[in-house]
Structure 1
Amino acid sequence: MKFAKIVAIEYELPSHSLSNEDLARQFPEWDVAKIFGKTGINDRRIVAENECASDLGLRACEKIFDSGVIERSDVDCLILCTQSPDYVLPATACILQHRLGLPTQCAAFDYNQGCSGYIYGLGMAKGLIETGQVKNVLLVTAETYSKYINEGDKSVRTLFGDAAAATLIQAADETVALDRFRYGTDGSGAQNLIVPVGGSRFPAAQNLDLESRKDESGNIRTDADLYMNGPAILEFSLTRVPELFESLFDENFTTEMVDHFVFHQANKFMLDTLKRRLKLPEEKFVREFEHCGNTVSSTIPIALKESMEKGKLKEGDMVACVGFGVGLSWAACTVRF
């Protein structure tokens, strides 16, 4: 039997940066130190007006091919996680398959999952490979949340950045490298992180005269913009994530056997609180979002790649990955590198 194994990870950030200094000039009540103290973020990367998820995903995938680890002709499955597709239809994965020059025998599909999406993608890749359906999966996560964010809404503008990551997962003869997948969903919280207008329920074409509103905290948005109920998302995370995390472990697999803990890189306050609640050692707790912000489905692969480049993540290391957020959804797994 073949087992699914992560072989390579690359990521791509847009060239334009939105710094804390930029935000402080627009929101004088939030100085640079306050923004960083709350978020742990210095810079967020923002796509150009004509730049989309497939553009970022394309450049991340090209880095995989440039490394020489695989030929385009050998990719037989492209999975794309995005909540900001190029079009309502067709699937952005189909567009990306053509732009990358992948074989027409390659499967390609989108899925819309968000902050837990990377782990869902790893789970699908594992299933496809270990049932013998495919051999080489390109898992792409790509988001341009900035297109959904009102410039007057500091509650989300201080957090989110645009990015894409590409992960090559291959069939290998080695023992299990992707394991202990756990999933969860609570759609009753869907309204707490949402773009209300733009889908079939409330089509954008029927809501062109969208009124800007200011909330009690001074944030400005329309119904076509991203809305986040911060307190509700925090409560969800601090309730569900510890339960999810603890479900990874048993008498045969303990936290002491893990070399690195990579959580969805939401923000400093969220990660600090979870680390403290779960009693995790700081030296094993990965933080890699200061330079790019919360990049949604790409936070975990970016953190993994940064850890590899810095020499922290080495061959043979055991990693526990935990994703959580929009949906509401959550997922976790272990990765042996």
Structure 2
Amino acid sequence: MKSYIKAISTYFPKQILTNDAISEEFPEWNSEKILQKIGIQERHIASKEECASDMASQAVLQLIEEHQLDKDKIDFLLLCTQTPDYILPTTACIVQDKVGLPTDCAALDINQGCSGYIYGLSVASGLIASGNFKKVVLVTVDTYSKYIHPKDKGNLSIFGDAATATLITPEGDYEIKQPTLGTDGSGAENLIIRNGGTRQARNENPEDLDNFIDMKGGKIFNFIVKRTPEVIQANLALNGWHFEDIDLFIFHQANTHILEKVRQDMEIPVEKFVIEMRDYGNTISSTIPIAFSEHLRKFPKKPKEKILFVGFGVGYSWGAICIETVKKQA
């Protein structure tokens, strides 16, 4: 059975952190310099009281309202986050209750980062293909801002908070093709929060950097530049598509420096390459659905028959998946 993306909705916290505000805290970190270096002007930040389940619930409610869904028909809630409310219970279970989804709706968390949307689509597609589920809602949500040290101007500039909800069904507007996924755990130390699990407990020391995100940007950059072309070619071959067939390339929106390097290396035409992160920042697993929905809203008549999603990052993990627009009957 085929699976399709039927609808996407997004949610952003009300609080906004601008480049100007960052520059006020770090005068050497010029506002325009931030924009030129990473392509971000502002980013949404979750309030102190706002956690993953709150944002995820809002995204699902948006999906239900905007697309007039019967929430009693949703039979699987798949939630991708690396910043859950608690170690247990599952955040998806909390969201099921907050939204008021039926108790015969399955709920499952995926702990995955910047490739999370690709992994999530792969799992959701498999659930539909099994024939056991008809309406799967894939939620992506993260609050990385809660794990950034207040003096870490680099990560403060890069990351934003957001949530998205995608409805996957046996019929819809965008067919989900076969995925290509990969993992290299030897890179785990290059993007990590060391404290907070069972190996090293989180503590109350605000100066203990192990309580916060540690990202080795240079190694992440090298990994992405090397791995992305490989996973793209593998996924195109798997689905019998050719590079020149793709109308839109939508990568995880890490930062514009990385994106532009990969685009140039692969000789992807600018008009086919989607960058939508100026007002959102790097929102982890939410960047691809945000970029996709924003680009469609801004350019509804742009060619989009064949689309390629590519995610990469923490883990290391990576993935690519082809999406084909369903042709409308005349």
Tell me which interval the TM-score lies in, with the shorter structure as reference length.
over 0.9
Contact 1:210/1:223 (CA < 8 Å) preserved in 2? no
How many Å apart are 1:63 and its aligned residue? 1.2
Alignment pair present for 1:303 and 2:299: no
Alignment pair present for 1:197 and 2:195: yes
How many Å apart are 1:106 and its aligned residue? 0.5
Aligned-residue RMSD, C-alpha? 1.7
For structure 2, list consecutive stretches of 5 or more residues without a partner in the other structure: 326-330
Q: 3-state SS of the aligned residue for 1:64?
A: helix
Task: Name 1:270's counterpart in structure 2.
Answer: 258
Using the alignment, how far apart are the partners of 1:312 and 1:172 within structure 2?
Answer: 21
Contact 1:137/1:168 (CA < 8 Å) preserved in 2? yes
How many Å apart are 1:70 and its aligned residue? 2.0
Equivalent residues in 2 for 1:54-203 (5 A)?
54-172=53-171, 177-203=175-201
The aligned length equals 324
Task: Name 1:238's counterpart in structure 2.
Answer: 225
Contact 1:307/1:313 (CA < 8 Å) preserved in 2? no
Contact 2:236/2:322 (CA < 8 Å) preserved in 1? no
Letter in 1 for 2:287: T
Using the alignment, how far apart are the partners of 2:318 and 2:13 within structure 1?
Answer: 27
Q: 3-state SS of the aligned residue for 1:288?
A: coil
Q: 3-state SS of the aligned residue for 1:277?
A: helix
Contact 1:52/1:86 (CA < 8 Å) preserved in 2? yes
Contact 2:194/2:200 (CA < 8 Å) preserved in 1? yes
Moved more, 252-261 or 150-159: 252-261
Contact 1:80/1:139 (CA < 8 Å) preserved in 2? yes
Task: Name 1:257's counterpart in structure 2.
Answer: 245
Contact 1:3/1:173 (CA < 8 Å) preserved in 2? no
Task: Name 1:282's counterpart in structure 2.
Answer: 270
Q: CA deviation digits over 1:251-282, x for unaligned, max 9?
A: 94112211100000000100010100110000
TM-score by length of 1: 0.93
Task: Name 1:211's counterpart in structure 2.
Answer: 207
Using the alignment, how far apart are the partners of 1:226 and 1:84 within structure 2?
Answer: 12
Q: CA deviation digits over 1:100-133, x for unaligned, max 9?
A: 1111110101010100000100000110101112
User: How has the CA–CA distance of structure 1 residues 281 and 107 changed in structure 2, closer, same or farther, with 3 Å as cutoff?
Assistant: same
- Identical residues among aligned pairs (%): 45
Task: Name 1:11's counterpart in structure 2.
Answer: 10
For structure 1, list consecutive stretches of 5 or more residues without a partner in the other structure: 213-221
User: How has the CA–CA distance of structure 1 residues 247 and 78 changed in structure 2, closer, same or farther, with 3 Å as cutoff?
Assistant: same
Q: CA deviation digits over 1:231-261, x for unaligned, max 9?
A: 1101111111111112122394112211100
Moved more, 267-276 or 307-316: 307-316
TM-score by length of 2: 0.95
Q: 3-state SS of the aligned residue for 1:105?
A: coil
